[in-house]
């Protein structure tokens, strides 16, 4: 990636929040926030999950109405009646959680609700032409007619970005736009952002990837507990400034848990081969072998497409291998269904928590108890008392910040939703815990909490395997770092390795 952005003089304020407050059922999400968006510049908004970032952006983009305060556009107060109203005024938002229709094509998702019409109806050919142009700008080879459900998560994120760019907005709000992107895709997006700002488009950028965000920002604003706690131009900020203002101290992500010996091999993968699920005609996992011992934390690092996700999904039973063995505690389990593997003590926390980790229509408690339902079911009856006890224990164990087990899962911040997914799987008392990008879309404080939970369970004798696309996370709690490249292990390190060697082994270019 390119070097850090240099600060430019503050441009004209095109959109401003003035004393914005927002309450939900008496809980104050925003407490009189003032926030300026400058023409042709990138303003980055930092803050922990639950700090109020997404709430503020939803207000500025017309998704929700403030409890008090006003929005000023081009110097004039304005009230957006809806997101469509805001979009008509040139304001678009890319939401943190994908809002695509999986059964529709890429083309239909991008033009949903604003189809291009002609004398004979919808002009699908023109829509397809524009989609191809947008995807070409984003350097992504996706057929516009491909159903979204067939795309990997990073490609779906690109479609969300393309949809926002297609509106030709003058203010573009990006809420965690790179959470599922590879390093190469992030660099392409940053190039697009620079082109947009050069044309006078204003960008609001929200990210938990702090070092990455510093490369693109012109101004930084920090929210904490619904208050704006700091503001500074790029020239006056660094990583320490951001963390200090976000969480009050310089958090780290922990160290490999020590003081215990590794036990026997809990998970053994032998010569595993997995074909491309999208039918690309190649193997995403190619004759790979790996052993993980009780009490050990293994990190798997690799670029997008290296086969990390497919490896974990095959071990968990979601995908099928064409050859090889998966052995849990000395017993072959390749023939077992997902539920049977969970019962044997093997669980997976998926990368996409919204689609595969949570049931959006259920409460926090129902989500937490879902994988353990047989523990409190007797015949056709369930024990409410036993379920409540399990849920309360899970909330304590993974420190979920919630008003109670009965609140909707959607009311939680991204970090707390992720802890619910982890808590749900830990409630099954597993022997092997697989986690695919467990820190995706969560802030530095929540990351530290998640990693402390994993370190605790490893110290208790459970085997932990997690994947990541962030080099810093490799050097946190892992005893061993596995580098995957093109479906195979290209290197293996201990935690005293350098970032540069990790990146080089993965095939990622290392800045000089």
- Whether the CB-CB separation of 468 and 351 falls below 8 Å is answered with no
Distance CA 442, CA 370 (A): 23
Residue that terminates a domain, selected from 195, 217, 247 = 247
Q: Is the pLDDT of residue 510 over 70?
A: no
Rounded to the nearest angstrom, the gap between the alpha carbon of residue 327 and the centroid of all alpha carbons in its chain is: 30
Would you give the DSSP letter of residue 396?
Answer: H
Confirm whether 33 is domain-assigned: yes
Q: Which positions ≥6 away from 118 have C-beta within 8 Å?
A: 126
Q: What is the pLDDT of residue 126?
A: 92
Residue that terminates a domain, selected from 405, 428, 451 = 428
pLDDT, average across residues 98-109: 89
pLDDT, average across residues 400-405: 84
Residue that terminates a domain, selected from 199, 216, 247 = 247
Q: Is the pLDDT of residue 2 over 70?
A: no
Rounded to the nearest angstrom, the gap between the alpha carbon of residue 311 and the centroid of all alpha carbons in its chain is: 19
pLDDT, average across residues 405-410: 86
pLDDT, average across residues 223-252: 81
Same domain, 407 and 434: no
Same domain, 78 and 53: yes
Residue % of the chain over a pLDDT of 70 = 93
What secondary structure does DSSP assign to 377-393, as a single string? EETTEE-HHHHHHHHHH
Same domain, 199 and 162: yes
Greater confidence (281 vs 488) lies with 488
Confirm whether 140 is domain-assigned: yes
* Strand, helix or coil for residue 131: helix
Residue 54, domain CATH: 3.40.50.300
Q: Is the pLDDT of residue 4 over 70?
A: no
The most confident of 198-212, 277-291, 324-338, 375-389, by mean pLDDT? 324-338
pLDDT, average across residues 9-23: 86
- Whether the CB-CB separation of 40 and 198 falls below 8 Å is answered with yes
> In 114-217, which ranges are E strands?
117-118, 121-122, 171-175, 202-206
Q: Is the pLDDT of residue 433 over 90?
A: yes
Same domain, 136 and 212: yes
Range of the domain at 276: 257-345+430-511
Q: What is the pLDDT of residue 5?
A: 46
Same domain, 138 and 211: yes
Confirm whether 6 is domain-assigned: no
| Range name among 4-8, 35-39, 245-249, 317-321 with the lowest pLDDT average | 4-8
For residue 483, which of 311, 239, 262, 343 has the smallest C-alpha distance? 311
Same domain, 121 and 102: yes
Same domain, 286 and 338: yes
Report residue 509's pLDDT band, with 50, 70 and 90 as the boundaries: very low
Report residue 378's pLDDT band, with 50, 70 and 90 as the boundaries: low
Distance CA 130, CA 136 (A): 10
Indicate the average pLDDT of the chain: 86
The tens digit of pLDDT for each residue in 20-30 reads: 999 877 778 89
Q: Write phi, then psi, for 499 (nearest 5 degrees).
A: -60, -40
Same domain, 377 and 506: no
For residue 215, which of 185, 182, 193, 244 has the smallest C-alpha distance? 193
Instruction: Report pTM.
Output: 0.62
The tens digit of pLDDT for each residue in 437-484 reads: 888 767 777 788 888 889 999 999 999 999 987 777 888 889 999 999
| Range name among 29-38, 195-204, 440-449 with the lowest pLDDT average | 440-449
For residue 198, which of 415, 483, 8, 481 has the smallest C-alpha distance? 8
For residue 210, which of 449, 47, 416, 7 has the smallest C-alpha distance? 47
Confirm whether 24 is domain-assigned: yes
Q: Is the pLDDT of residue 349 over 80?
A: yes
Same domain, 413 and 450: no
- What is the number of structural domains in the chain? 3
Confirm whether 352 is domain-assigned: no
Q: Is the pLDDT of residue 406 over 60?
A: yes
Q: What is the pLDDT of residue 271?
A: 96
Confirm whether 381 is domain-assigned: yes
Q: What is the pLDDT of residue 245?
A: 83
The tens digit of pLDDT for each residue in 479-499 reads: 999 999 889 999 999 888 887
Confirm whether 120 is domain-assigned: yes
| Range name among 24-38, 181-195, 263-277 with the lowest pLDDT average | 181-195
């Amino acid at each position: 990636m390119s070097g850090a952005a240099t600060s430019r003089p503050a441009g004209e304020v095109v959109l401003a929040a003035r004393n914005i407050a927002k309450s939900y059922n008496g809980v104050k999400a925003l407490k009189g926030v003032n926030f300026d968006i400058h023409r042709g510049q990138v303003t980055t908004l930092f803050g922990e999950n639950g700090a109020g970032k997404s709430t503020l952006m939803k207000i500025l983009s017309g998704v929700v109405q403030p409890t008090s305060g006003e929005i000023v556009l081009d110097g004039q107060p304005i009230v957006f009646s809806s997101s469509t109203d805001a979009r008509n005024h040139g304001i678009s938002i890319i939401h943190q959680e994908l809002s695509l229709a999986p059964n529709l094509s890429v083309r239909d998702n991008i033009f949903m609700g604003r189809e291009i019409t002609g004398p004979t109806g919808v002009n699908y050919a023109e829509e397809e032409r524009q989609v191809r142009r947008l995807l070409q700008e984003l350097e992504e080879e996706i057929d516009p007619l491909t159903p979204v459900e067939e795309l990997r998560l990073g490609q779906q994120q690109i479609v969300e970005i393309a949809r926002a760019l297609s509106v030709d907005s003058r203010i573009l709000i990006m809420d965690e736009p790179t959470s599922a992107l590879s390093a190469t895709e992030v660099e392409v997006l940053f190039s697009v952002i620079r082109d947009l700002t050069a044309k006078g488009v204003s960008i609001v950028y929200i990210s938990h990837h702090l070092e990455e965000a510093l490369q693109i920002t012109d101004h930084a604003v920090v929210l904490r507990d619904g208050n704006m706690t700091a503001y500074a131009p790029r020239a006056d900020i660094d990583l320490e400034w951001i963390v200090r203002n976000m969480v009050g101290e310089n958090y780290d992500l922990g160290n490999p848990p020590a003081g215990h010996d590794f036990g026997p091999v809990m998970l053994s993968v032998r010569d595993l081969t997995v074909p491309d699920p999208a039918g690309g005609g190649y193997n995403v996992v190619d004759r790979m072998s790996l052993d993980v011992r009780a009490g050990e934390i293994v990190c798997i690092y690799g670029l997008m497409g290296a086969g990390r996700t497919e490896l974990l999904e095959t071990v968990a039973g979601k995908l099928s291998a064409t050859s090889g063995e998966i052995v849990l505690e000395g017993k072959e389990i390749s023939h077992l269904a997902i539920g049977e593997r969970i019962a044997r003590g093997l669980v997976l926390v998926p990368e996409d928590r919204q689609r595969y980790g949570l049931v959006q229509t259920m409460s926090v408690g129902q989500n937490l108890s879902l994988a353990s339902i047989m523990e409190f079911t007797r015949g056709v009856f369930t024990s409410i008392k036993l379920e409540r006890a399990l849920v309360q224990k899970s909330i304590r164990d993974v420190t979920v910040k919630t008003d109670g087990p009965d609140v909707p899962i959607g009311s939680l911040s991204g970090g707390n939703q992720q802890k619910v997914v982890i808590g749900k799987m830990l409630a099954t008392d597993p022997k092997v815990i697989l986690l695919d990008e467990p820190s995706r879309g969560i802030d530095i404080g929540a990351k530290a909490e998640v990693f402390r939970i994993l370190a605790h369970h490893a110290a208790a004798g459970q085997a932990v395997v997690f994947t990541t696309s962030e080099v810093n996370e490799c050097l946190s709690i892992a005893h061993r770092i596995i580098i995957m490249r093109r479906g195979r292990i290209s290197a293996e390190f201990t935690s005293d390795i350098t970032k540069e060697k990790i990146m080089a082994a993965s095939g990622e270019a290392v800045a000089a």
